Chain A
Amino acid sequence: MSEVILEVRDLVKHFPIRQGIVFKRTIGQIKAVDGVSLDLHKGETLGIVGESGCGKSTLAKLLMNLEKPTSGEVRYQGRDVLRLSPADQRKLRRNIQLVMQDPYTSLNPRMTVGDIIGEPFEIHPDAAPKGDRRRKVQELLDVVGLNPEHINRYPHQFSGGQRQRIGIARALALKPEVIVCDEPVSALDVSIQAQVMNLLDQLQKDFNLSYIFIAHDLSVVRHIADRVGVMYLGKMVEVGTDDDIYTRPTHPYTQALLSAVPVPDPTVRQHKAVIRLEGDVPSPANPPSGCRFRTRCWKAQEICATEPPLLQIRPTSGHPSACHFAQEKDVVHAG
């Protein structure tokens, strides 16, 4: 495999819960991300899946350095991002860019498309000389499949899919090496979703980009990702290649998640063994002891309540799985 470009070790983010008006006291912690480690290799796509509240978007913000982590480190090409001087951090940020979920709120409605895509050049003036910027923006519009003549239009004049392309063009402006995509297609219609995914695929090939692709749609992630990490309540529960996760899942949560995805084929509905989870995801302010999934798990034993399972390769699992009773199970699923 190619070199590791981004390395995350034991990343933790706890948000304090405060109470009181004048004298604020901290009465608890929301454990949004609680000890996540991952490696991103050059040119690969790492998919992160999980349900809402599992911490995947907080992880994206931590990687982008938009939130300060409680502990842990993020190393970009071997350098610890969080310990750099502000000037160095700014330089480094150029190489990691973000595409956000909602193309309706992530673009400023008062700015023209040219201003939106050109804004990164204002912050990093050395990336493009002033006189050259308009041409660069038009090039970017062309790259993402928009008409370069629309440079003076405003976001509301574009459809959802086109707006997402604008967001992608903005992320590309500074020629980054890593793009963190936080649910880039979930706000789009099915027919538009495929267009944007093809674009992301094409850009990856053209510019040798590495993606961290966060989504809740498992079939979308399977299509685009080389490796996949599954998150539950702030922890990574299983990591592996797409085949590992989709055809040989060993963590009960991954199995339940896969089986819950509706399959777009009515012929499988009779013989589809669906694992139904009971209840909701517990609150991240007060996660269960031991394994966090044990309250909804059908395999839970005493050890699960006392000992948190580590994310490691096990005798019964060829790829890292955080379950004491990891076991392969074939699940009928979409994609």
Chain B
Amino acid sequence: MSDIKVKTAPVQGVDGRSGGHLLEVENLHVEFRTRDGVAKVINGVSYHVDAGETLAVLGESGSGKSVTAQTIMGILDTPPGFVTGGSIRFRGKDLLTMGKDERRLVRGEGIAMVFQDALSALNPVFTVGFQIAELFRKRRGMSRADGYKRAAELLDLVKIPAAKTRLKDFPHQFSGGMRQRVMIAMALALDPEVLIADEPTTALDVTVQAQIMDLLAEIRRDRNMGMILITHDLGVVADVADRIAVMYAGRIVEQADVHALYGKPCHPYTLALLDSLPRLDLKGQELNTIKGLPPNLLRIPSGCAFHPRCRMAKDICSSERPALIELGGVRASACHFAEELYGRE
């Protein structure tokens, strides 16, 4: 795969502000107010994505990677979820402060999303053709017949065989991989500039996963879209991402170019994560593990949230929260010993 990083000119902000990115999340805070207390799910997340590039957001369950995506899309369940700070700028405009109708226009046309479980994301009582054509009727004012025509074109684009006849099928009549293709077709319907893919292949088999990841990469290239790929799979990330943001307990702990991150991880969590993968030369030996459990978001450890599980932890880690500091150019790490890790051979 030729994934040379596409350099893109910064998007001119609509408000005349230049130098902004296509989509920019800044210092986002989200909390869930539950019966048991307040769970601080996102604690100051900042990332950006430009046209034509793939940003992978990597993290384990509960790290806040999906909630960030839901907040960007404006589909966060409120209550219990509340945005308590930060901004999400798309083409320079803050999505969090804009009106409901304006935001609705961004959804689908500006930013679209592909969900993990296509069977529950599609409506089981309508045909696939109806569900895609509905977008064209409501948003583009097309007639029913024209909508179906466009829907057939889209299914063809995502390589569903016999697209025209399959328009009349219901979601359950498609296989898992084909259903995911329908989801992708739907997300592409209104030509979005940013596509958020939330674990798009987690429920699929590896041979089908490879097909879907290829399709997404191809579409991203052809349309020069920005893509945010949310996943926990270190293999998928290495295959398609340009940049990576690693999340832990609602914070970004490391951010880097894909080669830099795998070549020399500069946060103990990333290091341990890569270390815990089964490897050929470790056959028959004990796997390296990360001790303990991911933190309970109702009671995030003081200081660095990773310190109870960290091999390098010192006293300072439990008392002082490390800031995300920049290390040589585009990478950053939130660890007190980041520079030490960066300087190592």
**Interface set, chain A 180-227, CB cutoff 8 A to B:** 189-195, 197-198, 201, 216, 218-220, 222-224
A198 touching B289 by the CB < 8 A rule? yes
- Chain A residues whose C-beta falls within 8 Å of the C-beta of B262 in the assembled complex: 264-267
B207 touching A257 by the CB < 8 A rule? yes
- Chain B residues whose C-beta falls within 8 Å of the C-beta of A334 in the assembled complex: 235
Known: A191-B276, A198-B286, A198-B287. A277 touches B238 (CB 8 A): no
The answer to the question of A71 belonging to the interface, with a C-beta cut-off of 8 Å to chain B, is no
Q: Which of A35-43, A62-70, A124-132, A268-276 contacts B (4 or more CB under 8 A)?
A: A268-276
CB 8 Å contact bits of A213-243 with B (1 = contact, 0 = none): 0001011101110000000000000000010
B238 touching A191 by the CB < 8 A rule? no
Known: A51-B206, A192-B293. A264 touches B287 (CB 8 A): no
B287 touching A191 by the CB < 8 A rule? no
The answer to the question of A280 belonging to the interface, with a C-beta cut-off of 8 Å to chain B, is yes
A121 to B294, CA, bound (A): 34
A195 to B275, CA, bound (A): 12
The answer to the question of A52 belonging to the interface, with a C-beta cut-off of 8 Å to chain B, is yes
- Chain B residues whose C-beta falls within 8 Å of the C-beta of A280 in the assembled complex: 175, 177-178, 208
A280 to B206, CA, bound (A): 11
A194 touching B289 by the CB < 8 A rule? yes
Known: A159-B293, A194-B287, A219-B278. A265 touches B238 (CB 8 A): yes
A195 to B286, CA, bound (A): 9
CB 8 Å contact bits of B194-238 with A (1 = contact, 0 = none): 000000000001111111011000000000000000001111111
A269 touching B289 by the CB < 8 A rule? no
A220 to B2, CA, bound (A): 28
B236 touching A189 by the CB < 8 A rule? no
A325 to B241, CA, bound (A): 37
Known: A262-B238, A263-B235, A269-B238. A223 touches B273 (CB 8 A): no
Most-contacted residue by chain A among B3, B276, B279 (CB, 10 A): B276
Known: A262-B233, A264-B235, A270-B2. A223 touches B287 (CB 8 A): yes
B239 touching A222 by the CB < 8 A rule? no
**Least CB separation from B58: chain A residue:** A190
Partner of B238, one of A161, A216, A224, A266: A266
- Chain B residues whose C-beta falls within 8 Å of the C-beta of A272 in the assembled complex: 1
Most-contacted residue by chain B among A161, A219, A265, A276 (CB, 10 A): A265
- Chain A residues whose C-beta falls within 8 Å of the C-beta of B208 in the assembled complex: 51, 280
Most-contacted residue by chain B among A216, A222, A242, A280 (CB, 10 A): A280
A188 to chain B, nearest CB (A): 9
- Chain A residues whose C-beta falls within 8 Å of the C-beta of B177 in the assembled complex: 280
Partner of B214, one of A222, A261, A276: A276
B97 to chain A, nearest CB (A): 35
The answer to the question of A82 belonging to the interface, with a C-beta cut-off of 8 Å to chain B, is no
Partner of B290, one of A191, A256, A257: A191
Most-contacted residue by chain B among A194, A195, A197, A220 (CB, 10 A): A194
Most-contacted residue by chain B among A190, A193, A269 (CB, 10 A): A190
- Chain A residues whose C-beta falls within 8 Å of the C-beta of B278 in the assembled complex: 194, 197, 219-220, 222-224, 335
A223 to B262, CA, bound (A): 21
- Chain A residues whose C-beta falls within 8 Å of the C-beta of B287 in the assembled complex: 194, 197-198, 223
The answer to the question of B288 belonging to the interface, with a C-beta cut-off of 8 Å to chain A, is yes
B286 touching A269 by the CB < 8 A rule? no
Known: A51-B205, A52-B205, A193-B276. A262 touches B236 (CB 8 A): yes
B60 touching A191 by the CB < 8 A rule? yes
Listed from nearest, the 7 A-B pairs whose CB atoms lie closest are A262-B235, A223-B278, A51-B205, A191-B290, A194-B287, A194-B276, A264-B234
18 further A-B pairs in the complex, CB-CB below 8 A; given A190-B234, A260-B206: A190-B60, A191-B273, A191-B290, A191-B294, A195-B290, A218-B206, A222-B283, A224-B278, A261-B206, A266-B238, A266-B239, A266-B241, A267-B263, A269-B1, A276-B211, A276-B214, A277-B210, A335-B279
Q: List 16 A-B contacts (CB under 8 A).
A: A191-B272, A192-B293, A197-B278, A223-B279, A223-B283, A262-B238, A267-B259, A267-B262, A267-B263, A269-B1, A269-B238, A274-B210, A276-B211, A277-B211, A280-B178, A335-B278
State the A residues within 8 Å of B (CB).
51-52, 159, 161-162, 189-195, 197-198, 201, 216, 218-220, 222-224, 242, 256-257, 260-267, 269-270, 272, 274, 276-277, 280-281, 334-335
